[in-house]
């Protein structure tokens, strides 16, 4: 985003910081505007995916087959590798990837479903953000991590965005906004001081890389902050729903799933009735949809790099 840092500095100057004792930050400074372009995939490239590959490897391959995704992924891979990686450079490149890569590519890499027994797939998913470099080897206190985040306009903005769009509004778990917006806010935190990640190779639980040990009389506040990631029903369901969709994409032959998945998405849109579109028009219609409808992988004859 061009001039983002300057814009956010001005925003937080106009909206002065609350005391550090307040858990809830101000509302997100980001507007929900339509900026994404439809993502098209060349179906001819899909024959390179081996049937016995796990889904994380398949999505990684799809990224490699896309020039822009591959270039951005290699950039953060290089910055985040080596025995003496520079954490700041690693986080910058990670953030650049999740900001500039096509959303379906980025979400496919990070939110690929794995069988609980497939530890290799789970390890590949957990290592997507290069945690050995991006995250501190010794977990800091979560409140200290937040204080560090609040001192940076970008990190503070991303955290406010996350809390605005992934916040359960009541004890029933009613979520503030739709799942796609929560996921976008969650991915926006990657590359900041508040970078979350999967906690293991065997499940989809996520958490901040921090601890509440030593929080003293702020223990409850610390646990509430930590729980906004690890025990957040809105975030957990948004991740689960996206993984179910990703799994559905590979659950049958591509030739069959292309139209069935797209027809399902078309019929779920406001004002689109079931059976309204002919199969022959499905590719054209899906290729021209724009967000918020475009939250899933869109299949089309050509690929936009």
Question: Which 8-state DSSP code applies to residue 102?
Answer: -
8 Å CB contact between 191 and 215 = no
pLDDT of residue 284: 29
pLDDT of residue 248: 87
8 Å CB contact between 261 and 252 = no
Q: Is residue 18 domain-resident?
A: no
Hey, what long-range contacts does 67-74 have (CB within 8 A, 24 or more apart)?
Answer: 67/305, 68/100, 68/101, 68/102, 68/305, 69/101, 69/102, 69/105, 69/106, 72/96, 72/97, 72/100, 72/101, 73/97, 73/101, 73/109
Beta bridge mates, 168: 175
Q: Is residue 100 domain-resident?
A: yes
Helix (H) or strand (E) holding 274: none
> Whose CA is closest to 158, among 136, 190, 197?
190
8 Å CB contact between 197 and 126 = yes
Written as six digits, the tokens of 266 are 């078309």
Beta bridge mates, 120: none
Q: Is residue 31 domain-resident?
A: no
What size, in residues, is the chain?
305
- Residues 161-194: b if buried by 16+ CB within 10 A, e if exposed: bbbbbbbbeeeeeebebebbbbbbbbbbbbbbbb
- The CATH number of the domain holding residue 63 is 1.10.220.110
Strand duo 196-198 + 206-208: pairing: antiparallel
8 Å CB contact between 120 and 54 = yes
Q: Which residues of the chain carry a pLDDT beneath 50? A: 19-24, 34-36, 39, 254-305
Give me the half-sphere count of Cα atoms (radius 13 Å) on the Cβ side of residue 60: 16
Tally the domains of the chain: 1
Q: Is residue 116 domain-resident?
A: yes
Q: Going along the chain, which residue ranges are E strands?
A: 196-198, 206-208
Q: Is residue 129 domain-resident?
A: yes
Q: Is residue 241 domain-resident?
A: yes
Q: Is residue 191 domain-resident?
A: yes
Q: Is residue 68 domain-resident?
A: yes
- Domain housing 133: 49-249
Sequence-distant (6+) residues with CB within 8 A of 298 are: 38, 39, 40, 41, 104, 262, 286, 287, 289
pLDDT of residue 46: 66
Beta bridge mates, 207: 197
How far is the CA of 172 from the CAs of 15, 43, 83, 270, in angstroms?
Answer: 31, 42, 46, 26
Written as six digits, the tokens of 49 are 């995916």
């Amino acid at each position: 985003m061009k001039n983002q840092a300057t814009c956010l500095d001005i925003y937080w100057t106009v909206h002065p910081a609350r005391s550090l004792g307040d858990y809830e930050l101000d509302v997100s400074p980001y507007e929900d505007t339509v900026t994404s372009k439809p993502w098209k995939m060349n179906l001819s490239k899909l024959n390179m995916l081996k049937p016995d590959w796990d889904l994380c490897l398949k999505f990684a391959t799809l990224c490699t087959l896309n020039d822009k995704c591959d270039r951005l992924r290699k950039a953060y891979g290089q910055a985040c590798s080596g025995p003496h990686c520079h954490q700041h450079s690693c986080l910058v490149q990670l953030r650049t990837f999740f900001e500039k890569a096509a959303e379906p590519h980025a979400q496919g890499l990070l939110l690929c479903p794995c069988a609980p027994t497939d530890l290799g797939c789970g390890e590949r998913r957990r290592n997507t953000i290069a945690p050995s470099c991006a995250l501190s080897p010794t977990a800091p206190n979560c409140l200290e991590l937040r204080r560090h985040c609040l001192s940076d306009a970008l990190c503070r903005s991303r955290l406010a965005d996350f809390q605005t769009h992934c916040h359960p509004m009541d004890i029933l778990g009613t979520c503030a906004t739709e799942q796609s917006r929560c996921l976008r806010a969650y991915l926006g935190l990657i590359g900041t001081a508040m970078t979350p990640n999967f906690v293991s190779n065997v499940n989809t639980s996520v958490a901040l890389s921090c601890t509440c040990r030593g929080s003293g009389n702020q223990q409850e506040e610390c646990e509430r902050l930590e729980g906004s990631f690890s025990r957040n029903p809105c975030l957990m369901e948004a991740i689960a729903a996206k993984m179910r969709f990703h799994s559905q994409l590979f659950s049958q032959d591509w030739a069959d799933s292309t139209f069935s998945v797209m027809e399902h998405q078309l019929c779920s849109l406001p004002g689109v009735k079931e059976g309204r579109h002919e199969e022959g028009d499905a590719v054209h219609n899906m290729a021209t949809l724009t967000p918020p409808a475009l939250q899933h992988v869109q299949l089309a004859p050509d690929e936009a790099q």
